Each structure stands twice: as structure tokens, then as C-alpha cells.
Amino acid sequence: MITEIIKFKEVKSTQDAARQLVSKNQELAVVALHQKAGRGRHGRYWYSPPGGLYMSLLLYPQFRPEVLPLLACLAVIELLEEYGCSRLSILWPNDVLIGGNKVCGILCEKYKKAYICGIGLNVNVEKFTDETLSATSMLLERKEEFDLDAIVLSLIGKFNSRYEEYEKHGFEIQQAYHYISGIGEPVEIVTSKGKECGIVHGIDSDWAILIRDDNGIIKKYYYGEVHKLKW
Ligand code: BTN
């Protein structure tokens, strides 16, 4: 459970700043107003101008860490609903979308004994770069600016509740089904072993994606990047 927030004006990446704090052996959040070298998944760059929320949670979970992105996605969704955003969905495993456009990305990394769950949420971001064309922000959706400090506190509170709940009682994946984008749709999944195509059959309770191939065989993936295929 996060009990401390450490704030910076500017860092290279809050993921790296959180790594520096691993010896504290304490669950905490690192937040920055701006990142000079924000990182996304698969070594990509995360556009991090002032106005966005850039936060890394330093965690020592007593459960399978694969579900951390799900807990973070659900906390973000609950927050966005409270702030009046609709048409919300989760693109497995780590993205939160508004109307199909990405508003939040999550990057979970293992570092020593800890897991660092980085959350990038486009709050008051007005313009995006060419690489982030399918992105959106709370500001663009709601046509108003939001108080970042209040959002940080609220998001940590929501994450803490889900984290504690998961530690005690686990999780029924059905709770998240409503938000998961692409079930029953054709996709391509890219992993370190290559690309495979199939139909999204569902999501397992441990947050693995189940994809049915052309032969009807259901395969389970814990990692990968899913692209929707248009037929
Ligand atoms: C992705 O969608 O590829 C994941 C993006 C994760 C971005 C966040 S912002 C806070 C933390 N610090 C980083 O450098 N990255 C994560």
C-alpha cells in the first residue's frame, strides 16, 4: 500500500527515480510534473509535457505481479468515470482508451525485489506529437483543465483499495470484462517469438490473454502487444 508520495518538478523518468528509492523497502509513489525521457513499453518514448500525470509506484506485492497493470487500469478507469469521461476501455494489457484513443499507458518493470508500476495519464495535455496521433487527454475529452494534485491523490487512493483487496481476496476477472476491448475480434499479437493471429477468446483470471488460432486452439499469453485487425 502506498504511504508516501515523493514529488519532483522534472526528472528523466519517474521509473528511474523510483529505482533509486528501492533500498527504502517502502511502498511509495514518485510523481513528476515533466519527464525529459519518459519511457513506454517495448523501449518506446512516452511523450511527457507539463500537464500530464507521470507517476511510478514502487511496490513489493505478495501476489503474482502480472495483475498489477490490471489493478492500475481499473483504478484509472474509476478515476476517469468520476471525472465524467465515458466510452472507456482497456486494451490488454496496459492501455486505457477513451473512445478508442489512448489516454493512459502503464509500464510495469521488475527491479531488484520490487515492481515499479509506471502510470502516464494524459490529463491537461492539449497537443500530441506525430507518434501519438491516436492519443487523447482528459482536457480534450472534457474541455476543461483538472487539478493534477487532486488527481494524484485520488488515483493513489483507488489503487491502494484495489491492491489491498487483491492481497486479501484476489479478484474476479468478470469485474473487468465489461471494459476489455476486442473480445471476439481478430487480432495480431506480437511477442518476442514473433507474430500470431487469432480471435481474442477472453482474459484469464491472472490477466493473461487467450487467443484462439485458426485451428481452434486457445493459446495463453502473458506478454505481448495486441493489434486489432480489420477484416
Ligand atoms: C506505454 O503505454 O507504453 C506505457 C507508458 C508508461 C508511461 C509512464 S509515465 C510514468 C512512468 N515513467 C516513465 O518513464 N514511464 C512511465
In this predicted structure, what is the pLDDT of residue 229? 85
- The predicted model gives 184-213 an average pLDDT of 93
The residue to mutate among 39, 41, 58, 68, having the most atoms of ligand 1 within 8 angstroms of its beta carbon, is 39
Average pLDDT over residues 67-85: 96
What pLDDT, on a 0 to 100 scale, did the predictor assign at position 20?
97
Res 126 pLDDT > 60: yes
How many other CB atoms are found less than 10 A from the CB of residue 182? 19
Q: How far is Cα 15 from Cα 135, in angstroms, rounded to an integer?
A: 21
pTM, whole model, 2 decimals? 0.94
Q: 75-89, 144-158, 172-186 — which is least confidently predicted? A: 172-186
- What percent of the chain has a predicted confidence (pLDDT) above 90? 84
**Confidence label for 205 from pLDDT (cuts 50, 70 and 90):** confident
Place of cell 481499473: 74
Residue with the smallest CA separation from ligand 1 atom 10 is 54
- Closest ligand 1 atom to the C-alpha of 13? 14
Q: How many CB atoms lie within 10 A of CB 13?
A: 21
Measure the CA–CA gap between 143 and 161, rounded to whole angstroms: 29
Ligand 1 atom nearest to CA at 55: 10
Q: Is 105 in the pocket of ligand 1 (CB under 6 A)?
A: yes
Indicate whether residue 102 lines ligand 1 (CB < 6 A).
no
Say if ligand 1 is within 6 A of residue 39 CB.
yes
- Greater pLDDT, 54 or 128: 54
Q: Over 90: is that where the pLDDT of 173 sits?
A: no
Confidence of residue 42 (pLDDT cuts 50, 70, 90): confident
Query: Closest ligand 1 atom to the C-alpha of 32?
Result: 10
* Average pLDDT of the chain, as a whole number: 94
Distance 45 CA to ligand 1 centre (A): 8
Ligand 1 centroid – CA 52 distance (Å): 11
Is residue 19 in contact with ligand 1, taking CB distance under 6 Å? no
Cell of 154: 485520488
